Structure 1
Amino acid sequence: MTLILTAWIALATAAISPGPNLVAVASRGLGSGRRSAFLVAAGLACGAFLWSSLTAVGFGALFQAYPGLLRLLGVLGGGYLLWLGIKGWRAALTGEGGQIAPVSGRGAARDFLHGLAVTATNPKVALLWASLSTFVGPALKYPGLLLVFICGSAAIVFVIYGTYGWLFSTGRMRRVYRRFQSASEALFGTLFGGLGAVMVHRAL
């Protein structure tokens, strides 16, 4: 259980930090409110369920056999975040093409699938789960522990992104975001760019 708890702490830390998952749920919260944001968060949680399930089918062994794949994911994920950082700063300077912009909901199924698609194609998430699988995979030999890890991971992701969704759906947050939109874009651009630079540096 110690390895599982450590993996959950790493997962929570990564989920709290900026990335495409946060952009997806915050944009829906700003544009359509709490329900739409929660549906996106549910899709993200389902993605975490699927990613964590891969720990049972040798996902970690693949990266142990081919460590270069982890470096490749680090470069791809870091490069993607650097691009988001540049995009955020461009939006701060020009007022166009913001990272977190109000997005209207598209119905329950499409909002849920949007969250699932974002986390399934997110290089940052792929790198996280690749790293976690090499770390915690050997501890998940028993079905009971595997089930606990999978369900716990999904719950952590839903709680964190659901909280973000609730926060960005409040009227106060919407007013604050509109008032300080340029500063917010600069902040997120800096966070995205900094995290991306760290990921690329570690990979190289």
Structure 2
Amino acid sequence: MNEAIFTIFAAWAALAAAAISPGPNMVAVASRGLGSGRGSALLVAFGIALGGFGWAMLTALGFGTLFETFPVLLRVLGVVGGLYLGWLGYKGWRAAVTGAPGEITPQKGEGTWRDVRYGLVVTATNPKVALLWASLSTFVGGQTTSLSLLILFACGSSLILFAIYGGYGLLFSVGGIRQLYVRFQKASEAVFGTIFGMIGIGMILRSVRGSL
């Protein structure tokens, strides 16, 4: 039991670190925060948290067996996720240089259920998220052997995601932050574009090295 709890806490730490770093989930929440305020942003964050609950359940129920059987899939996910983040980085820099719409742009809310569904869809189709959970599944799955541990892991993961992305949503919905972002939009896009690009390159390099 102690080993299982330690593994779960280690997985939560990795999840929190990955969630804090910029990615499509953060873009979705920030865009709604800028365009519609905290209500819509928190609904999107709630959808992401629901998606995280689903990913955690898959992980704990033996999702990792697939990647243990076909390890090349993990590397493919890494390359695909890295290319996707690289594309986001390119769009950020293109927006900074040309003034074209960037990845983080004010978006209007679409209502309670649509906002929740939007967050759920974003995290369900996010390559960065898929790679994270695939990686976690290779060592978490064997530890969540009881229903109580399974529920603990899934609920805890969901709460962590809501806290982090809800925090992003609240941050980008603050009037002063919104005004600053608009004022320094080109510089912000360049910063986020650089971060996306660096994370993407790192994911690709780790995946390629793992296959050598």
Cα deviation digits, residues 84-115 of structure 1 (max 9, x gap): 00000000001112111100000001100000
Equivalent position SS for 2:110: coil
Query: Given residue 155 of structure 2, which amino acid in structure 1 is its aligned partner?
Result: C
Deviation at 1:56, TM superposition (A): 3.5
Give the alignment of 1:174-193 within 5 angstroms.
174-193=178-197
Q: Which runs of 5+ in 2 are unaligned?
A: none
- Percent identity of the aligned residues? 63
Report the counterpart of residue 104 of structure 2 in structure 1. 100
1:37 counterpart = 2:51? no
Aligned residue among 84, 89, 94 for 2:93: 89
Range that drifts further, 126-135 or 54-63: 54-63
Report the counterpart of residue 73 of structure 1 in structure 2. 77
User: Distance between the aligned counterparts of 1:125 and 1:23, measured in 2?
Assistant: 13
Deviation at 1:55, TM superposition (A): 2.1
Query: Given residue 16 of structure 2, which amino acid in structure 1 is its aligned partner?
Result: A
Report the counterpart of residue 159 of structure 2 in structure 1. 155
User: Distance between the aligned counterparts of 1:64 and 1:162, measured in 2?
Assistant: 34
Cα deviation digits, residues 159-188 of structure 1 (max 9, x gap): 000000000000011111011100000000
Equivalent position SS for 2:129: helix
Report the counterpart of residue 124 of structure 1 in structure 2. 128
1:27 counterpart = 2:28? no
Cα deviation digits, residues 128-176 of structure 1 (max 9, x gap): 0000010211110111111100000000000000000000000011111
- The 8 Å contact of residues 34 and 173 in structure 2, kept in 1 or not, is answered as yes
Question: What TM-score comes out, normalization by structure 1 length?
Answer: 0.99
1:114 counterpart = 2:124? no
CA root-mean-square deviation = 0.6
User: Distance between the aligned counterparts of 1:13 and 1:189, measured in 2?
Assistant: 19
Q: Which runs of 5+ in 1 are unaligned?
A: none
Flag as ranges the 4+ runs of structure 1 deviating above 4 A. Answer: none
